[in-house]
């Protein structure tokens, strides 16, 4: 059996007296999709930073393709940086307003020193997210929220990662646009065989996108399993409370 692409093993992260993560274990298998659901203070953002190797655990470890991430292992970290790409919540603040879209999308190619024709790759990934090649010459501010999120996804795809880690990728978007971005992520995951990790407070979005769901509460995994069974037959009181709280439109 091959090792998971990413794996958190009994990860503890403390900030002073606060245990933001209190022994969290999560496996992310290649080509699958995992959603991490939690409210504020659940530790989901701390876990996200661990999986992106932007922070180190106080105890426990994070493994990338079976190898424990250690601060000193530059080679391993470099491979992870190219292979695991983040998509953040608000494309307004994650896209540099002074850079043209083409430069924004090519940025990971430059910083990771990816060989090959960057301009060609930019055109390719823009097409993959449904944008014309000529948007490359414009500035992020000239685009709507949904289009900016497409640009952010194109940038993440540029270095041909196998894993996308998305942090609330649609929470800042209007509802009519949200569905389109969810569909885009779904299509990209299927077509390109991407592994998807989605971190969100929104269990409905996780329900749409992810095969497995992990429910995080006060720094612990309270429930984990196939999304269908977590939604239909939640075992934990907290999961039931979370599901009951989601505002629903009555009737169908």
Tell me the two tokens of residue 203: 């269990």
- Near other proteins by CB under 8 A: residue from 76, 82, 99, 204: 204
| 94 membership: H or E segment, kind and range | helix 91-94
Residue 33 engages other proteins in binding (rule: CB under 8 A) = yes
Residue 205 engages other proteins in binding (rule: CB under 8 A) = yes
> CB–CB of 72/250 below 8 Å?
no
Residue 162 engages other proteins in binding (rule: CB under 8 A) = no
Minimum CB–partner distance for residue 12 and other proteins (Å): 23
Q: What is the DSSP letter of 210?
A: -
Residue 1 engages other proteins in binding (rule: CB under 8 A) = no
Residue 175 engages other proteins in binding (rule: CB under 8 A) = yes
- Near other proteins by CB under 8 A: residue from 90, 211, 220, 236: 211
- Near other proteins by CB under 8 A: residue from 1, 2, 17, 40: 40
Give me the residue label for tokens 């609330």. 168
Residue 178 engages other proteins in binding (rule: CB under 8 A) = yes
Query: How many residues lie near other proteins (CB under 8 A)?
Result: 44
Minimum CB–partner distance for residue 166 and other proteins (Å): 14
Residue 208 engages other proteins in binding (rule: CB under 8 A) = yes
CB-nearer residue toward other proteins: 127 or 246: 246
Residue 17 engages other proteins in binding (rule: CB under 8 A) = no
Residue 207 engages other proteins in binding (rule: CB under 8 A) = yes
Q: Across the beta sheet with 67-68, what order do the strands follow?
A: 18-28, 6-15, 59-64, 67-68
Q: What is the DSSP letter of 97?
A: T
Q: To the nearest 10°, report the CA torsion of 181, 63, 69, 38.
A: 50
Measured from the Cβ of residue 216, the count of other Cβ atoms closer than 10 Å reads 25
Tell me the two tokens of residue 106: 């090519």
How many residues are present in the chain? Answer: 252
> CB–CB of 55/46 below 8 Å?
yes
What is the contact surface with other proteins in residues (CB under 8 A)?
Answer: 33, 39-40, 145, 170, 174-176, 178-179, 182, 186, 190, 201-205, 207-213, 226-232, 241-252
């Amino acid at each position: 059996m091959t090792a998971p692409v990413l794996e958190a093993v009994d990860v503890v992260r403390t900030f002073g007296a606060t245990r933001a993560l209190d022994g969290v274990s999560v496996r992310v298998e290649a080509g699958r999709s995992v959603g991490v659901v939690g409210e504020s203070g659940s530790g989901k953002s701390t876990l996200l930073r661990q999986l992106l190797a932007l922070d180190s655990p106080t105890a426990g470890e994070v493994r990338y393709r079976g190898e424990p991430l250690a601060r000193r292992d530059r080679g391993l970290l470099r491979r992870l940086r190219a292979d695991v790409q983040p998509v953040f919540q608000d494309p307004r603040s994650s896209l540099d307003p002074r850079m043209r879209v083409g430069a924004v999308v090519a940025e990971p190619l430059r910083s990771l020193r990816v060989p090959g024709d960057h301009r060609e790759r930019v055109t390719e990934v823009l097409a993959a997210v449904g944008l014309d090649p000529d948007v490359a010459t414009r500035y992020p501010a000239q685009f709507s929220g949904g289009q900016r999120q497409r640009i952010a996804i194109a940038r993440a795809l540029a270095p041909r990662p196998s894993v996308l880690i998305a942090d609330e990728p649609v929470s800042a978007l209007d509802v009519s646009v949200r569905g389109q971005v969810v569909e885009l992520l779904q299509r990209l995951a299927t077509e390109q065989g991407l592994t998807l990790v989605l971190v969100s407070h929104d269990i409905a979005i996780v329900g749409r996108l992810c095969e497995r769901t992990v429910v995080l509460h006060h720094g612990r995994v309270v429930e984990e399993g196939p999304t269908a069974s977590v939604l239909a037959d939640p075992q934990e009181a907290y999961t039931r409370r979370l599901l009951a709280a989601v505002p629903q439109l009555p009737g169908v």
